[in-house]
Chain A
Amino acid sequence: MRASILAIAAVGAWLVPTGILYWALSGDHAGILLLLLGGVTMLGLAAYLVGATRGTPPGPDDDEAAEPGAGTVDGPVPVLRAVPPASAWPALIAAGAALVAYGLAFTPWIWLPGLLFLALALAGYARETSP
Chain B
Amino acid sequence: MSPAVAVAHRPTAPGDPGDQPLPGIVGWLTTTDHKRIGILYVGTSFAFFVVGGLLAALMRAELAEPGLQFVGSQRYNQLFTIHGTVMMFLFAVPMATGLANFLVPLHVGAPDMAFPRLNALSYWLYVAGGLVVLSGFLTSRGAADFGWTAYAPLSDGTYSPGAGGDLWITGIALTGVASTLTAINLLSTVIALRAPGMTMFRLPIFTWTMMVVSFMILIAFPVITAALFMLLADRRLDAHFFTPSGGGDPILYQHLFWFFGHPEVYIVALPFFGVISEIIPVFSRKPIFGYKAMVIATVLIGAYSLTVWAHHMFTSGAINDGFFSGATLLIAVPTGIKIFSWVFTMWGGRLRFDTPMLYAVGFVVVFLIGGLTGPMLAVRAFDSHVHDTYFVVAHMHYVLLGTAVFAMFGALFFWWPKLFGHRLDEGLGKVQFWLLFVGSNIVFFPQHVLGLRGMPRRFADYPEGIGYETLNLWSSLGTILVALAVLLFLVNIAASARRARRGDAAPAGDDPWQGNTLEWATSSPPPTHNFHSLPPIRSERPVFDHRWGDRP
Contact = CB atoms under 8 A, between A and B. Distances in A.
A105 B303 contact: no
B529 A82 contact: yes
Contacts of A87: 30, 32, 117, 120
A4 B200 contact: yes
A100 to B, nearest CB: 8
A88 interface: yes
A67 B116 contact: no
A124 to B, nearest CB: 11
A120 interface: no
B380 interface: no
A68 B536 contact: yes
B351 to A, nearest CB: 31
Interface stretch (B53-61, B162-170, B358-366): B162-170
A26 B211 contact: no
A38 B529 contact: no
B307 interface: yes
A90 B199 contact: no
Interface residues of A, number: 64
A66 B196 contact: yes
B128 A59 contact: no
B4 interface: yes
Q: Provide the main secondary structure of the chain A interface.
A: helix
Interface residues on B, range: 35 or more
B252 A41 contact: no
A97 B174 CA distance: 8
Interface string A71-85: 111000101111111
Interface in B200-215: 200-202, 211-212, 215
A90 to B, nearest CB: 4
A89 B117 CA distance: 9
Contacts of A21: 323
B381 interface: no
A80 B8 contact: yes
A118 B401 CA distance: 37
Nearest to B252: A30
A59 B1 contact: yes
A30 B196 CA distance: 44
Interface of A: 2-4, 7-8, 10-11, 14-15, 18, 21-22, 25-26, 28, 30-31, 34-35, 38, 41-42, 49, 59-73, 77, 79-91, 93-95, 97-98, 100-102, 104-106, 125
Given A61-B198, A66-B196, 5 more contacts: A64-B197, A67-B196, A91-B120, A93-B124, A102-B167
14 contacts: A7-B215, A26-B323, A28-B320, A35-B307, A61-B195, A64-B202, A68-B197, A68-B537, A79-B8, A88-B29, A91-B120, A95-B128, A101-B170, A104-B236
